[in-house]
Amino acid sequence: MTPVCPFVKSARPDDASSRKHQPESACPFAKSGRSDDASSRKQQSSESSCPFSKSARSDDASLKKDQPEAEKDVADAAKTGGKCPFGYDSQTFKIGPLSCMICQALLFECSRCVPCSHIFCKACISRFNDCPLCGADIEKIEAHADLQATVDRFIEGHARIKRSQMNSDKEQEEVSESKVVIYEDLSMERGAFLIQQAMRAFRAQNIESAKSRLTICVEDIRDQLERAGNSSELCSQLGAVLGTLGDCCRAAGDASSAIKHFEESVEFLSKLPEKTREVTHTLSVSLNKIGDLKYYEGDLQAARSYYLQSLNVRQDASKHHSEDPSQILDVAVSLAKVADVDSGLGNEDMAVNGFEEGIKLLESLTLNSENPGLEQRRQSVLKFLEGQLAERQKATQSS
């Protein structure tokens, strides 16, 4: 199951649900270009701009009024916005020099094949006996610390812009060791970029790479929270990233870490005074996933508690968004989970009531032909509920 980027307008899929795939975020730190270097600007007048700046700047003394060509480049860059020179954009994504050819994400634990010298993520290339690029037999795999350091600097460069302390609104001094240096934080944009890379790695089963990128996102948002306070936007983002990190841990078989991340996701999302549909869905999914992990551990009472919390969240959401059929489907899924645990605990009457309530909801739900995916999901959940109810009724009759 592939988590969805929490910085776009979509929610993470539940066990029985799925959301429409959203296009990946554009290179988040490529808002516009810079013209700090006149000579490089002349050579790159038609190319993508440096992604490390929010807006086009003309601080270089060589850019004067008698250089209209350079100034035109600056204006064009500011108007169209910069693009990542390595190709990390949603519309023009290409495998860049810092990408692994196997997982197509940023290199993580860079490893070089001997003797062919092709470079991949350690986890990716460890699955092969010969190089997937050239076919040469792999005699051994060596760590490439220098290239990994470059990747790490690339990530950090997209997160921080180094600027000098300004004495006035119109004056910006050159940075020197004696001057105070401030950093303009772009961690939210970097978060979208790293989520994109984490999802690429996750889909390719490079779990450690995905976890590493997501952990950086969590650290960035925590830093924002410390400085800006518990805003709804930051809590929502942190809750979503923690939930996605929990998915990675669960996929890696680390149930205890997954539960920890899901619980922390629930904590932050529960703090929000007003919850959007995306936040509500993410909150209920995190609760359900904790319930799933407890269920697999054999702790049915704890599983029921989390499933019931998720049901309450979804029922409340359905009252406020009664026109949304997906909300009704979510309620039916939660009813099925609670009823299934009730059956496991020996509460057959409660289980039957839960299955019947879920069936009534789904039978009363009318979907138009424009939502074939929702209708398919409705039929799937309805079939499960009817099957469970039939089993209970058969067992009652035989006894």
134-176 pLDDT, tens digit per residue, is 999 999 999 999 999 999 888 877 654 433 344 444 444 444 4
Q: For 53, phi and psi rounded to 5 degrees? A: -130, 150
Query: Per-residue pLDDT tens for 248-260?
Result: 999 999 999 999 9
Q: Which residue has the higher pLDDT, 17 or 257?
A: 257
Which class is 96-158 in CATH? alpha beta
Domain at 289-398: CATH code: 1.25.40
Helices (DSSP H) in the chain: which residue ranges?
38-43, 68-80, 122-125, 145-157, 187-203, 207-228, 232-251, 255-270, 277-297, 300-320, 325-344, 348-363, 372-398
Give residue 120's identity as a one-letter amino acid code: F
Residue 381 sits at φ, ψ, to 5 deg, of: -65, -40
Which residue in 276, 275, 203 sits closest to 244, CA to CA?
203
Side chain identity, residue 296: Y
Domain ranges of the chain: 96-158, 289-398
What secondary structure letter does DSSP report for 175? Answer: P
The predicted model scores a pTM of: 0.67
Give the helix/strand (H/E) hosting 365. Answer: none
Q: Which of 172-181, 286-295, 320-329 has the highest mean pLDDT?
A: 286-295
pLDDT band at residue 204, thresholds of 50, 70 and 90? very high
Same fold, 96-158 and 289-398: no
- Is the pLDDT reported for residue 188 higher than 80? no
SS (H, E, C) 96-137: CCCECCCCCCECCCEEEEECCCCEEEHHHHCCCCECCCCCCE
pLDDT in tens, 46-74: 333 333 333 333 333 333 344 344 334 33
Does residue 5 surpass a pLDDT of 50?
A: no
**Mean of pLDDT values over 88-109:** 77
> Quick one: pLDDT band at residue 87, thresholds 50, 70, 90?
low
Angle between helices 255-270 and 277-297 (to 10 degrees): 150
